A and B are shown apart, each in its own frame.
Chain A
Amino acid sequence: MSVSPPARSGLRIRGLRKWYGDTRALDGLDLDALPGEILGVAGPNGAGKSTLIKILAGETTADGGTIELDGTAWDTATDRDRVAVVHQEPQLFPNLTVAQNLMVGREGTRVMVRRLDAAERSLLTDLAILEYADRPIDTVPLAIAQRVEIGRALARDARVFLFDEPNSALTQEESVDLFRRMHLLAGAGNVVILVSHRIAELAEHTDRVALILDGLCTATLDGEALTQEGIAAGLVTGQAVREPGEQVVVHLGEDAATALRLRDWTHVGGEFQAIDLHVRTGEIVAIVGVEGSGARELVRSIAGFERGNGHIQIAGPTGGTSVADGTSLVSADRQTSLFSNMSIGDNMVVRLHGEITRAGGALRFGRMLEIAHELRDRFRVKADSVHLPIRSLSGGNQQKVAIAAAIVRRPEVLVLEEPTRGVDIGSKREIYRLMREYASQGHAVIIYCTEVPEVFEAADLAYVVSDGRLSAPLLVMNHPDVEDLARAVTRLERHGSGRPAAAIQAAASPSE
């Protein structure tokens, strides 16, 4: 795209460090991305991927380390024209048109608004979005907006193209097109980095994959080692160890009562189709799937927060019960699971009504305090007083409060989205213990997971959702270690398998 400078050695990162308060996000990360190749970056949540992206995008600054681009030092915070970040939410001006977005910051000095110049028109033609030039961004599909993002970067002579989970909200055809453009960008000598949870796509479209764990690049896979199973196993190495005697007795007898049954359960928005699922009391069931697979929507639909069609049945203590009475949901985001204007204790009892009121609707403060203290002790929430604001707790303890608040009405089916996201290791164990305790009291627990170690440590059964379909169940007990389970989960993920890979390679090859 641009004139070739003498040295185009690509991106070279050495010893990158970043702390957030007491939390270490990057611990001296080394990474090389060469021009002409697509570098994959994979890692579990909280490993440091998003911090790396933020630093490269200039949204935050590193505490230490160096970044070089084509042999010269690159200050990402000030020189932001060098990089384009393409993700699920394009950083564009939604109220401006495609053409205006392309010109923002380069409008020229004339008083009148200028029109697209020839170079910009040909750029839009190359990206096949010229017909959208006069449409505001918020009226075009996401895939078009992402191409505008690419176009804007090309117009600014960007060198580094960072794709951050770019296709989780795209259709199959849109994804294929996006990967074709990634290959074209790499073929033109740019640095292209793909950050993704979708192991199949990493294996299929990248030349090398860097694994990031605990703020370090632990391994780089290429050539023969670059397989789906290799990535999956590498991502979880040493992440979860089954301690002797820790594995609980699993009540998977056919005689256990049914807690939840789904038949031909289909999302109204098409995120999942024709799901059949049977969950018994006493079970912890993990629904595994990347963002966009339909797994999250499936789990939320069980609690009634996504709409599904078909048959859903939730068992109550005396026959069937309604979704509203029989389920509780804890969302992954504590912004939507806790009330930040209220105290720890009030957050714990907010879902109750009859138990905490007397006739006339007056609150029974004594009873509320009693329940809150009981829950604090049972969940081992580290708080001196339940009157303290919820904000005063650590993330792990906040999550315990959120789960306590959901359990307090004793739902037949407890639904948790990513129950330990952003939670410290100690709180993680506590949360797994509480989930087990609740299940063993004759309830079912359903968790949405994106991380295999969590499935390994917490669940009895795992189902994998890909492209809106549910896999056969995996019995977690049958897998001796987490790497083995990771390989099994990966085999069940069908992403990319039905895709015409040859066509993509062919489209990319002319420019290589």
Chain B
Amino acid sequence: MTDSTGGAAPAVAPPRPGGDWSSRIRAAGLRIGGLVIAILIVVIIFTVLSKPNTFLTITNAVGIMRSMSTIAIVALGLTLVIVVGEIDLSFGYMYGLASILIGVAWVVWGWPIWFAIPLAFVAAIGLGSINAFLVTVLKIPSFIVTLGTGQLVFGTTLLVSNTATLNPAYPPPGKTVPQEQVDWFFGLSNQDLPLGIPMQAIWMLGVAVVIGFILSRSLFGFRLKAIGGNPAAAELARLPITKYKFAAFIISASLASLAAMLDFAFIGSVQPNAGVSLTFPVFAAVIIGGASLSGGRGSAIGTLSGALLLAIIANGLALLSAGSYLSNFVSGAVTIAAVVLDRFTQSLRK
């Protein structure tokens, strides 16, 4: 995981003559430090409040990792879009379309699963390209573009699915789904790993390492931050703005599809409304993780920590039988508090 720690880049490096790698890690640590403390505080609170041996157990930790992984995978994709200075509101609907496309192609049309899955990713590349085209070539604000394409995608999902829930165990009359395909597909998310670690958490960590590498150690990430930080200067410096924005939107849509596929494999069935409720927690994870909505700042480890904090809060409140409305209150308040704290520490730094 050290690979993704440098997400904050040297922009905030402390004044350290000749500082190099170590100072980069230390700088990122400062930003992440606050989040780690917040997570520890929340863990302590729930440990004290919950019944003994319910919250601080391996089983529960595994459950938290499972529940955060969907949000984290989608949020890691969104982080790239946010860093380059744009907004993506369509990922939740892309999630729904991807799962329905896999389900319909596989269960209804009778495609082999190995063709159904690429179909979902082709759709993701298509949506990402349309978003990026409208934003970069037609210069329409990404908020409006993705607000619109999100609804277009949702409509497509309802049309394709016929608004029905799909389950490979119950194919439509006259169709069969080969059992070895079912086993292989479900195995993507359900496998017996040591300590009961969920397969989805492994996927999440893999994605985090890749996005962490991109943001902190690659030319791609370096330039994404430059473009997001100052688009006008990026144009004068002849950075490949259009190409990079295409890449960011395509990755965001593709990771939403990946998360959808993994959830389908874990749950065993899909329904067209899935993903609609992702918008808030995914954005919250990215924002709590320290990404700036005005662009130029964001890290994989930050987004991952944001998703973890939200998952712990949701889990802890559920263990206390607090009711879902309280969960909404708390996650909303935490998101705003994170931004307020960030403003405060940024102003101290100046």
Residues of A within 8 A of B (CB): 305, 324, 329-331, 335-343, 345-346, 350-351, 353, 356-357, 361-363, 365-366, 369, 384-385, 387-389, 391, 405
Contact = CB atoms under 8 A, between A and B. Distances in A.
Contact of B9 (A336, A346, A391): A346
Contact of B217 (A350, A363, A385): A363
B273 to A, nearest CB: 38
A384 B23 CA distance: 14
13 contacts: A305-B235, A339-B225, A339-B229, A339-B233, A339-B296, A342-B229, A350-B226, A351-B238, A362-B217, A385-B17, A387-B10, A387-B14, A405-B237
A366 to B, nearest CB: 7
Contacts of B217: 362-363
Contacts of B220: 361
A341 B11 contact: yes
Given A346-B10, A350-B237, A387-B19, 8 more contacts: A336-B230, A339-B233, A345-B10, A362-B213, A363-B222, A384-B15, A385-B19, A388-B13
Contacts of B233: 335-339
Interface in B15-54: 15-21, 23-24, 27
Contacts of A391: 350
B9 A342 contact: yes
A256 B217 CA distance: 44
B195 interface: no
B230 A341 contact: yes
Nearest to B297: A341
B223 interface: yes
Interface string B292-306: 100011000000000
A459 B146 CA distance: 50
A232 B296 CA distance: 45
Nearest to B230: A339
A341 B296 contact: yes
B296 A387 contact: no
Q: Which of A329, A341, A384 has the most CB of B within 10 A?
A: A341
Q: Which of B23, B223, B230 has the most CB of A within 10 A?
A: B230
B222 A346 contact: yes
Nearest to B19: A387
B133 to A, nearest CB: 22
Given A343-B11, A346-B222, A361-B220, A387 B23 contact: yes
B218 interface: yes
Nearest to B21: A365
Contacts of B229: 339-342
B12 interface: yes
B11 A346 contact: yes
B234 to A, nearest CB: 8
Nearest to A392: B15
Nearest to A354: B219
Contacts of A346: 9-11, 222, 226
Contact of A385 (B15, B218, B223): B15
B218 A389 contact: no
B225 A356 contact: no
A348 B27 CA distance: 20
A220 B258 CA distance: 74
A53 B12 CA distance: 37
A353 B244 CA distance: 14
A350 B296 CA distance: 13
Given A361-B218, A384-B17, A385-B15, A342 B226 contact: yes
B138 interface: no
B333 interface: no
Contact of A356 (B10, B19, B20, B219): B219
Q: Which of A342, A362, A369, A391 has the most CB of B within 10 A?
A: A342
B219 A357 contact: yes
Given A341-B225, A346-B222, A388 B230 contact: no
B12 A389 contact: yes
A369 B20 contact: yes
Contacts of B19: 385, 387
Contacts of B9: 342-343, 346
Contacts of B23: 387
B223 A363 contact: no
A324 B236 contact: no
B65 to A, nearest CB: 29
Given A336-B230, A338-B233, A343 B13 contact: yes
A389 B229 CA distance: 13
A397 to B, nearest CB: 15
Contacts of B17: 384-385
B193 interface: no
B93 to A, nearest CB: 30
